[in-house]
Amino acid sequence: MGQATRDLYLDLLVKCLSNLIYGPPPLDPWNDGLFRANARPGRDRHSLVHTMVGILRLENVRELVQRAIDLAVPGDFIETGVWRGGCCILMRGVLAANLIDNRKVYVADSFAGLPPPNADLFPQDAGDILHTIPELSVSLDEVKTNFARYSLLDEQVVFTKGFFSDTLPSLEADPFAVIRLDGDMYESTYVALEALYPKLSLGGFIIIDDYGATEQCRKAVTDYRAKFDIGDKLQQVDWTAVYWQKAL
């Protein structure tokens, strides 16, 4: 696939994942374009989107997966906390657009919403209510169906079901070229960092979706980086997401 064709396909994939092709009418009939304005920074929660991260964060996923490929960074790709699967679908789409059949995308989620806070082990999460929000619970079957809608459900997609503290420490996958964390909570973020960051290849990328959105997530990242003296520069994606490249 030539670069122009690849770019056209991935442009369309990003727009479809965000429902920008057949988006709903603006909520305010006198304010045309409201839906697109919300979707770009990832604040839209429409029932038809396959991701809530918005265009800027989707383009970041696309860019970093492509950079990892172009730089020949070894390893697979993973997202922890996938909701309806949109970012992982995009990762698989980038592999398909580059005709790559020897790398996998790991889709890690409970597929049952977020866990109740474990305040004894992680007091930073005390009082968190995300586990009570039913809209954050998306079944494994629904996520698989979403992959299939884009003809991207195949053996290169690996689903890891369960809460991160139960699944990630024993995950038999290594190394990774790009890691994306979207767990909101301190526990979900710190456990994922502990289990996965040592497996990130030198020159690989790690994305933290909720760094600017929740204090718990930001604290987990700060604590982990301090513990292991990680000084790689944080790069801002949008109002909430950041990433850094693991130093060579």
Catalytic residues, by residue number, are 59
| Contact present, 189 and 210 (Cβ < 8 Å) | yes
Q: How far is the C-alpha of 2 from the C-alpha of 96, rounded, in Å? A: 12
